[in-house]
Structure 1
Amino acid sequence: MADELELLRRANPVPPDGPHFGDGPLDHNAERRLERLLHDRTAGRPGFRLPRESAPGRRRIRLLPDRLPGGSRARLAWGLMATAVVAALTLTLVLSGPNTTPAVAAPRPLVVQADSTPVPLDRLAERAEQAAADGAPGLRKGTHVLSWSMGMSEDKPPVTFAEERIVRWKADDSHTELVVATDPRHPGRPVLSDEDGEPRLVEDGHVISKQTFGPSWSDAPPESPPPYDVTRLRDYLREASYLDTSLTTPQLLDAVGVLLDHWTLGARETAALARLLADAEGLRPVGQVTDRLGRRGQAYVYDGEAARRMLIMDPDTGAVLGLESTATVGEPEWGLKAGDVMEYKAWMR
C-alpha cells in the first residue's frame, strides 16, 4: 500500500512546490481536499471511501440547457457507484502524470476578450448574407460535433464526459454514425466515458459506437432539408421542436442545436439562421472569444433564470460554431456551483 500511495503523491497535479494547472489554478479548498485524498484515504467525503457493496440510489444526470436538478426539473437517472468515480479519479492521476489536468475536470466557461468590440447580430447577419451571395458552400445532411456534458450525483463532485460524433449520409439515403470518446483540450489523454451507463476511463479516440443505417427519408423537420427563407426557417425550427407556439429565445437556441446535430448548413441557410437569431429577444453581443477548438468567434449571451447561454458565431460567415450552457444558480446537494459549465457543443464542417 505504501508504494501505491507514493505513486499517487508523485502524480499529484498540484504539488506544494509546483505550478498550477495551465488553464487556471485550483482554489484553496480544492487543493486541500486533493492533498487530503492523496495522504489520508479515510479523509474527505463518504463518497470517496471504497464500499464493500454498490451504494444504492446513485443517479447520473445528463443536463440539458435550463434543466437543472431540484424540484420538478427534468432528471435522467443513472446507477453510478462510488467506486466508479474513485477509480476514474485515481486512474486519471496515475495515467496523466504530474502537473496535468485530470480528464474528469469540467471545462471552464469561455472568457470574452476584454478589449474586443462586440459585433451586433444585425451586422453579423449582413456579413452572412454577403458571404452567401454565390450560394457556396452548399447544404449537406450530416454533422460533425464535439460535446461536453456534465454528470452529477448527490454525494460526489460533478464529472464531465467528452464525445465526438460524426454522421455521414450517402446518395442512397443510408448513413453511418461514429461516436468516440475524446477531448481535444487534452489530446492523447484518457477520457471519461459513460458507455453502457458505466463511467470508466478509456483511451483517447475509443470508439463508443459505430453504426450503419439503411436508407431512410422523412419530410418532417429536422430530417427534411431546412429552408433558407427566414420565415419558413422559423416555422421549420418550431416544428422540429414540436411546439405549436412561437419560439422563445431559449427554445430557439435549443432548436439551433437540434438543427446542427442533423445538418451542416450551407451559406444560404447560415444567412437565414443568422437573420433569425438577430431578431431574437435578449440575445446580446458581448465580444470576441476563442472557442474550445481554438477558433475565433463572436459571442452572444442570453441570461436565463437557471442558465446562461452563450452562442459563438463565425465573425465572417455568421456560421454557428458552438453553444455553451453555464449554471447561474448553484445546487449544493448535487455539487453544482453557479458558473459551472453544464453543456458545451462545437460544430465543424
Structure 2
Amino acid sequence: MADELDLLRDADPVPADGPHFGDGPLDHGAERQLNRLLHATDPGRSRRAPWAWGLATTAVVAATALALLLGGPATAPAVAAPRPLTVRAGSTPVPLDRLAELAAAAAADGEPALLKGTHVQSWSLGMSDDAPPVTLPEERIVRWTADDRHTELVVATDPRHPGRPVLSDAGGEPRPVEDGRVISRRAFPPTWSDAPPEARPPHDARHLRGYLLESAYAESLTTPELLDAVGRLLDHWTLGARESAALVRVLADTEGLRPAGQVTDRLGRSGQAYVYQAAGARRMLIMDPGTGAVLGLEATFTADQPEYGVRAGDVMEYSAWMR
C-alpha cells in the first residue's frame, strides 16, 4: 500500500491549476490537514500533534529553543509564545442569553452584511520528531468575486511583534522568515458547493444549528465539537450582523459555556469571554460585547503534556477573525 500511495502522491492527480468539479479545490486548512495525514509518519518531518480531545493543536516554545532555531543564544526570540488571555479583574460577565438579545437588536438593519471569505490571524503548533514545539503565527486572507473565483494570501506575521522575524513551517521545517513574508499567493477558478461550510450560512438559529451539524457530518455535537464547527465556519465566511446574532443564540442554547468577563484579545479588541473547561484543555470564545460577533477562539492546556513538550497554561491554538 505504501508504494501505491507514493505513486499517487508523485502523480498529483488533481493539480492546483487543473479543472475542478463543483465542490472545488481544497481550502488552505483542508490541504494542511491532508498533508499532515499523508506525512505524519515520515521521520524528521514537521508535523502537528494529534489530539485525543479533537482540538486543533498548538503550544508554546521555550525561549532557549527559539534562540537555537534563530542562530544562537545571543539572538532574541523571534516569536514570544502566546500566553493565555486573562479575564479583566472585577469585570462583569454577560450571560449568553443577554448577549443574544443585544446581538439581535444590533442586527435589526441587517448591517454589516455577510461576506464570503475570511481574514484571520492564527497561532498554531509546529512539531517535529527531534525538536521542541514552536509557535507559528500567520495571517490568511481569502476573497471571493461575483463570478465565484477566489484568491488566498497567506503571510507569516505576528502583530504583537511588528518587524521582527517570524517562524514558519511552509518549507516543511520551522525556520525564521522576515515579518510579512508571503508564504503563498493563489488564485482559483470559479468553484461552488452547496454543502457547509462552503454553502451560504442561514441567519436564523434553528437552521444555523443544522448547518453546523451538517458541516461536521454529525447528528449531534458536543460543545468542543460545536466550537470547532464555528471555527470552520469563520474560516470560510465573515458573518454579517444577522448571522452573528443567530450564532449567539445557538451558543446560548449550548451546555457548558460559562460567561467569564471582559478580555482584551490579541489584536487589542475588547470582548466578552466564554469558557468551556474539559479534561486537559480549556476553550475560550471571545465575542464582541455589542454585536455578538466572534472575535477569537483560544485553546489552552490545563495539564502537562510532556510527550509534546508543553505544560499546563500553554496556549495550544489561537485564532482572531477580522472583518
TM > 0.5 = yes
Match of 1:294 among 252, 265, 268: 268
In 1, distance between residues paired with 2:297 and 2:73?
27
| CA displacement at 1:242 relative to structure 2 | 1.6
Q: Alpha-carbon deviation of 1:63?
A: 4.7
Cα RMSD between the aligned structures? 2.3
Note if contact 2:79-2:161 (Cα within 8 Å) is conserved in structure 1. no
1:189-226 alpha-carbon deviations (Å, 9 max, x no partner): 00000012121100000000000000011111111100
Q: 1:74 to 1:311 in 2, by over 3 A?
A: closer
Note if 1:242 corresponds to 2:217. yes
The DSSP-based 3-state class of the residue aligned with 2:171 is helix
Identify if the C-alpha distance between structure 1 residues 289 and 215 changes in structure 2 by more than 3 Å, giving closer, same or farther. Answer: same
Say if 2:166 and 2:177, in contact at 8 Å, map to a contact too.
yes
Alignment of 1:151-190 (within 5 A): 151-153=126-128, 156-190=131-165
Count of equivalent residues? 276
Partner amino acid for 2:224? P
Q: 2 CA distance for matches of 1:224 and 1:316? A: 27
Deviations, residues 236-270 of structure 1 (Å, cap 9, x unaligned) = 00111121x21111111000000000000000000
Give, in angstroms, the shift of residue 85 of structure 1.
6.3
Structure 1 residue 90 corresponds to structure 2 residue 71 = yes
1:348 corresponds to 2:322: yes
Which of 244, 255, 279 aligns to 1:270? It is 244
3-state DSSP of counterpart to 1:315:
coil
- Structure 2 residue 109 is matched with structure 1 residue 134: yes
Task: Report the TM-score when normalising by structure 2.
Answer: 0.80
DSSP 3-state at the match of 1:224? coil
Would the alpha carbon gap of residues 155 and 211 (structure 1) be closer, same or farther in structure 2, given more than 3 Å must change? closer
| Distance in 2 separating the partners of 1:198 and 1:187 | 23
Whether the 8 Å CA contact 2:260–2:274 is kept in 1: the answer is yes
SS in 1 for 2:70: helix
The residue identity in structure 2 corresponding to 1:89 is: L
Separation in 2 of the partners of 1:92 and 1:223? 46
* Runs of at least 5 residues in structure 2 that lack an aligned partner in the other structure: 1-41, 59-64
The one-character-per-residue Cα deviations of 1:171-198 (angstroms, maximum 9, x if unpaired) are: 1100000000000000000000001212
Q: SS in structure 2 opposite 1:198?
A: coil
Aligned mates of 1:152, 1:217 — CA distance in 2 = 34
Q: Find 1:333's aligned residue among 290, 304, 307.
A: 307
Equivalent positions of 1:22-101 (< 5 A) are 57-58=43-44, 60-63=46-49, 67=53, 87-90=68-71, 93-94=74-75, 96=76
Q: Residues 92 and 120 of structure 1: is their aligned pair in 2 closer, same or farther, counting only changes over 3 Å?
A: farther
Inter-partner Cα distance in structure 2 for 1:118 and 1:64:
33
Q: Which residue of 2 aligns with 1:113?
A: 88
Tell me the residue number matched to 2:253.
279
SS in 2 for 1:208: strand
CA contact (8 A) 2:46 2:129 kept: no
Per the TM alignment, residue 157 of structure 1 is displaced from its structure 2 partner at its CA by 3.2
Instruction: Judge conservation of contact 2:57–2:317 (CA < 8 Å) in 1.
Output: no
What is the CA distance between 1:282 and its match in structure 2? 0.3
In structure 2, the CA distance between the partners of 1:87 and 1:339, relative to structure 1 (3 Å rule), is: closer
SS at match of 2:316: strand
Partner of 1:90: helix, strand, or coil?
Answer: coil
For structure 1, list consecutive stretches of 5 or more residues without a partner in the other structure. Answer: 1-55, 77-83, 97-101
Q: Deviations over 1:42-67 (max 9, x none)?
A: xxxxxxxxxxxxxx943544257764
The 3 A distance-change label for structure 1 pair 154 and 145 is: same
How far apart are residue 103 of structure 1 and its match? Answer: 2.1
Contact 1:313 1:322 in 2 (8 A): yes
Match of 1:217 in 2: 192
For the pair shown, which has the larger CA radius of gyration, 1 or 2? Answer: 1
Q: What are the Cα deviations for residues 313-337 of structure 1, in whole angstroms up to 9, with x where unaligned? A: 0001000000000012211132111
Q: 1:266 to 1:74 in 2, by over 3 A?
A: closer
SS in structure 1 at match of 2:260? strand
Contact 2:112–2:241 (8 Å) recurs in 1: yes
- Equivalent-residue separation in structure 1 for 2:235 and 2:214 (angstroms): 16
AA in 1 matched with 2:243: E
CA distance in 1, matches of 2:221, 2:128: 32
**Whole-angstrom CA distance in 2 between matches of 1:299 and 1:65:** 24
The sequence identity of aligned pairs, in percent, is: 70
